[in-house]
């Protein structure tokens, strides 16, 4: 049986619900013929100085879905509208093609949707609050405005209120955007002066509920004595703090998604496009009930492990933040990252970057899309270091690293700074992911930002150095460039016993062109002269624009005859340009050449003086001919 390849679109995989879901996916496919590629953003972080919603959502456009057998999407986890719209755009062709697709929570065209009876549980909580605790005035803290999952939960609550003869107040509905920051903002709005305190605040998830409670406590509002608060998701912290909440069958939903999707890929089309799984309300101290410890022991063990992990993460971040943010070149970046990966115990990682951040790529311009080819800046799999290599972006990771028997589950995350796309990293699920993921990404971003800046500094330094020795008008060496480079060529000619050649060039009729047509036209004439002198580059000579209408050229020749013949080469090129590209007048110049084998006593001024004499002699001959 051929291996199956499944793409998973999710956001904020470092959060508990998403961690549990993806871990259940990995467990359901462990040892099977299924590989999972998880495409993840950290949209909920929204750190103003280093993140952008557009930069995050780029990762959803990375995979070529034609190369995948099936898709699992979790649109309800998207922390912002940009990410949600990006995922929906990516999935449009999937709906048209009929490719097997499982959507969690959100119905989508031609997809099987695994949903939860959230409405039943939240309705039970509203009924409980009314009948057991006498609540009459409810406030609601919702997810993003465009989240159908959040809207369904709030609508179920309001419907239950109406069943009990209570009319919801739309002024008491506040957006918390699924985040703790959003929850605190909503709590502050609830407590604005002049407003009547509600009996209960119903939050669409636990993160928002926990921050509401913290804000209330800081303002002297006691929970549940003054206001009851409920959440949703049954997070470890929520259960340990006695929050009234709702538990979803996360493991079961992930296993069901894999089961249905694999059968579908094998040709067994699902009979129903909707699968509904039950949820369970859990009553705790925040609504006024006695805490049921049935769920607490398991959560305590997990929280203890998480605390240890966080302490370890903080230690490692402090260890590596300086070294990772100070890399100067590609090799150093790879070495620092290797030390980092070893310390963090990451078994499998592929750091894939836009090569232009550390290499000079001809014609590569900055875009917000991934380039057609990526550079594997650093790779490691099962203790084996992988050599740096260029590979097609559509392959996601270098083709040579695909081991059919153990590809497993990889998490793909974007790397960028504001609008500058660096690339992406693929990390084995469970290795450097979870609660450590955000720290891992920030350290990698620091390394890539340093690498990008150092590369640009070298580029700018090279550009400035080039500008210092090159003429802007013609692109040739200028006087300074000539004085720096010509003596080396002269010394080389002496060592090899060959002729060092100096050609002096002075354009004819420049005063007439400037007076008759203006200096802009004069500049164009100088440019045409420079174009003609470029022919000398094919004869081992370097042309130089000294100033105004004065040029020279220098180089090495095997004989005096060859050196003298260079004048004929230039004159022929001027004639060709005048014939093939007619202008307001023909360009012409007087040329003089001097060539000799340097004996160590000669200096550059002697060659220049003798070449100038030959040039002026030619100019005088032209005057007498006219």
Domain ranges within the chain, ordered by starting residue: 4-114+308-458, 116-250+277-298, 479-625
Cβ–Cβ < 8 Å for 529, 543: no
According to the model, what pLDDT value does residue 474 have?
A: 85
pTM for this predicted structure: 0.71
According to the model, what pLDDT value does residue 436 have?
A: 76
Copy the structure tokens of residue 254.
């992930």
Residues in the chain predicted with pLDDT less than 70, given as ranges, are 1, 43-53, 291-326, 361-368, 400-407, 431, 462-463, 466, 626
pLDDT in tens, 82-131: 888 899 999 999 989 989 999 999 999 999 999 999 999 999 999 999 99
Pairing of strands 4-11, 138-142: unpaired
According to the model, what pLDDT value does residue 322 have?
A: 65
According to the model, what pLDDT value does residue 295 have?
A: 54
Q: How far is residue 340 from each of residues 200, 439, 443, measured CA to CA in Å?
A: 47, 12, 9
Three-state secondary structure call for residue 193 = coil
- CATH says 479-625 is which class? alpha beta
CATH of 116-250+277-298, one of 3.40.309.10, 3.40.50.300, 3.40.50.2300, 3.30.1520.10: 3.40.50.2300
Task: Say how many CA atoms lie within 13 Å of 311 toward its Cβ.
Answer: 5
Q: How far is residue 414 from each of residues 38, 231, 311, 420, measured CA to CA in Å?
A: 12, 31, 25, 11
According to the model, what pLDDT value does residue 31 have?
A: 80
According to the model, what pLDDT value does residue 226 have?
A: 96
According to the model, what pLDDT value does residue 140 have?
A: 97
């Amino acid at each position: 049986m051929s291996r199956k390849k499944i793409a998973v679109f999710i956001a904020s995989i470092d959060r508990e619900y998403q961690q549990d879901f993806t871990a259940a996916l990995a467990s359901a496919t462990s040892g099977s013929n299924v590989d999972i590629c998880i495409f993840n953003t950290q949209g909920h972080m929204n750190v103003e100085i280093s993140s952008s919603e557009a930069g995050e959502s780029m990762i959803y456009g990375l995979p070529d879905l034609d190369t995948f057998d099936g898709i699992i999407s979790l649109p309800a986890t998207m922390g912002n509208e940009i990410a949600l719209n990006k995922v929906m755009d990516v999935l449009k062709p999937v709906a048209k093609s009929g490719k097997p697709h499982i959507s969690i929570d959100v119905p989508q065209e031609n997809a099987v949707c695994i949903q939860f009876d959230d409405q039943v549980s939240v309705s039970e909580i509203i009924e409980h609050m009314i009948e057991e605790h006498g609540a009459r005035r409810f406030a609601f803290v919702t997810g993003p405005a465009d989240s159908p999952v959040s809207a369904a939960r709030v609508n179920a609550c309001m419907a239950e209120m109406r069943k009990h003869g209570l009319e919801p107040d739309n002024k008491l509905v506040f957006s918390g955007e699924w985040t703790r920051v959003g929850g605190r903002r909503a709590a502050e709005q609830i407590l604005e002066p002049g407003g009547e305190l509600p009996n209960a605040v119903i939050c669409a998830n636990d993160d928002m509920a926990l921050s509401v409670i913290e804000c209330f406590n800081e303002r002297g509002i006691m929970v549940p004595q003054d206001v009851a608060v409920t959440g949703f998701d049954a997070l470890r912290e929520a259960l340990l703090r006695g929050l009234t909440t709702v538990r979803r069958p996360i493991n079961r939903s992930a296993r069901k998604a894999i089961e249905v999707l694999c059968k579908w890929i094998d040709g067994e089309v699902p009979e129903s496009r909707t699968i509904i799984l039950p949820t369970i309300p859990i009553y705790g101290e925040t609504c006024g009930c006695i805490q049921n410890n049935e769920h607490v022991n398991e959560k305590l063990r997990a929280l203890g492990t998480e605390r240890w992990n966080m302490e370890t993460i903080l230690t490692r971040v402090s260890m590596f933040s300086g070294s990772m943010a100070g890399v100067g070149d590609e090799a150093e970046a790879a070495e620092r990252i290797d030390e980092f990966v070893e310390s963090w115990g990451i078994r499998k990682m592929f750091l894939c970057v836009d090569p232009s951040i550390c290499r000079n790529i001809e014609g590569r311009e900055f875009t917000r899309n991934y380039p057609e080819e990526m550079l594997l800046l650093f790779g490691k799999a099962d203790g084996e270091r992988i050599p740096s290599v260029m590979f097609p972006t559509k392959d996601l990771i270098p083709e040579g690293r695909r081991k059919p028997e153990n590809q497993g589950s990889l998490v793909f995350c974007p790397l960028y700074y504001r609008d500058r796309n660096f690339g992406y990293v693929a990390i084995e699920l469970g290795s450097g992911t979870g609660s450590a993921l955000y720290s891992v990404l920030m350290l990698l971003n620091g390394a890539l930002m340093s690498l990008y800046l150092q590369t640009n500094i070298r580029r700018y330094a090279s550009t400035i150095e080039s500008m210092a020795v090159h003429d802007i008008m013609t692109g040739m060496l200028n006087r300074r460039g000539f004085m720096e480079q010509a003596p080396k060529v002269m010394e080389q000619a002496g060592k090899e016993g060959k002729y060092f050649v100096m050609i002096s060039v002075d354009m004819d009729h420049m005063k007439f062109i400037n007076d008759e047509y203006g200096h802009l036209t004069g500049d164009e004439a100088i440019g045409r002269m420079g174009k003609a002198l470029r022919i000398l580059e094919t004869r081992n000579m370097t042309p130089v624009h000294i100033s105004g209408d004065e040029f020279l050229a220098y180089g090495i020749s095997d004989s005096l005859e060859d050196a003298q013949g260079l004048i004929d080469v230039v004159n022929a090129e001027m004639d060709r340009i005048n014939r093939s590209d007619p202008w307001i007048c023909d360009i012409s110049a007087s040329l003089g050449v001097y060539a000799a084998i340097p004996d160590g006593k000669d200096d550059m001024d002697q060659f220049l003086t003798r070449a100038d004499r030959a040039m002026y002699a030619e100019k005088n001959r032209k005057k007498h001919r006219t």
